[in-house]
Amino acid sequence: MHWVLLRQDENGVRYEIARSPWRSQLEWLAEQYNKEPRHKQLWFVESLPPVTPAATSADR
């Protein structure tokens, strides 16, 4: 499973900042950014859904 670090701005718009197989690494980054008083954004981590291979013409 992979994880993604997201930033949500004051208008509710989300931006993907980083991806990693290590949730703890991204959780630490989110915590550091959320501590910073000059940041008005919300930083958080979510899991990415598993990727399923697309069907190809060879599969048909």
pLDDT digits over 19-54, tens only? 999 999 999 999 999 998 776 889 999 999 877 777
What is the residue range of 28's domain? 6-49
In DSSP terms, which residues pair with 16 in a beta bridge? 6
Hey, what's the torsion of the CAs at 50, 53, 55, 57, to 10 degrees? 170
Domain count, the chain: 1
User: Does residue 59 belong to any structural domain of this protein?
Assistant: no
User: Does residue 41 belong to any structural domain of this protein?
Assistant: yes
User: Does residue 56 belong to any structural domain of this protein?
Assistant: no
Report yes or no on whether pTM surpasses 0.85: no
User: Does residue 31 belong to any structural domain of this protein?
Assistant: yes
Alpha-carbon distance 28 to 44, whole Å?
10
pLDDT at res. 37: 77
